[in-house]
Amino acid sequence: MNKLSTKRARLTDQQFSEHIEVHKEKLYRFAYCYVKNEQDALEIVAEATYKAYLSFSKMKTPEYFETWITRIVINCSLDHIRRNKKYTSLENNPAEFVTTEHSLPFEDKWDLYEALDQLSPEEKNLIILKVFEDKRFKDLAEILSLTENTIKSKFYRTLDKLKKHLIKEEVDI
């Protein structure tokens, strides 16, 4: 290996580290939305980071790093859920609830996360990316490899489904 290729590899490693450092909290929150368990979310982020590191040098457009790593976290989260053959319930450890800037009472957050568990993984992706991560429809289309109009219609259908579930829960109480 010559000096130029070694220097290029180190520079790429440095860039990768910088990108991960910028996005690590968001990646953790995203994984946590899927598994609702601190340790599992950390494992998912570690696995996603490892997979991303292995293929980072092949990345042609570094400006899409956030989109790319988000997709990897989604896939690792879904793989984790499939491996465990279940969605983790909040009842396991409600004290580990992720706090956000939103000032919802704990009970409302619990209801929201339970309602999210009723959605399919694809529907859950849409809600998490749009609502929790504040992504634009254009970004969602890129991350999920769908057209922007398809994303919009699926999002609004999923939002209606989520609202109906939350209203039903409120009526049942």
Q: What is the pLDDT of residue 85?
A: 66
Entry field: residues in the chain: 173
As annotated, the residues of the chain forming the CATH 1.10.10.10 domain(s) are 99-173
- pLDDT tens, residue by residue, 78-98: 888 888 864 444 444 433 444
As annotated, the residues of the chain forming the CATH 1.10.1740.10 domain(s) are 1-88
Q: What is the pTM of this model?
A: 0.61
Regions in the chain scoring below 50 on pLDDT: 1-11, 86-104, 106
CATH number assigned to the domain with residue range 1-88, chosen from the 4 options 1.10.1740.10, 1.10.132.10, 2.60.40.10, 1.20.1250.20: 1.10.1740.10
**What's the CATH architecture for 99-173?**
Orthogonal Bundle (1.10)
Q: What is the pLDDT of residue 173?
A: 55
- 56 CB neighbour count, 10 Å cutoff: 19
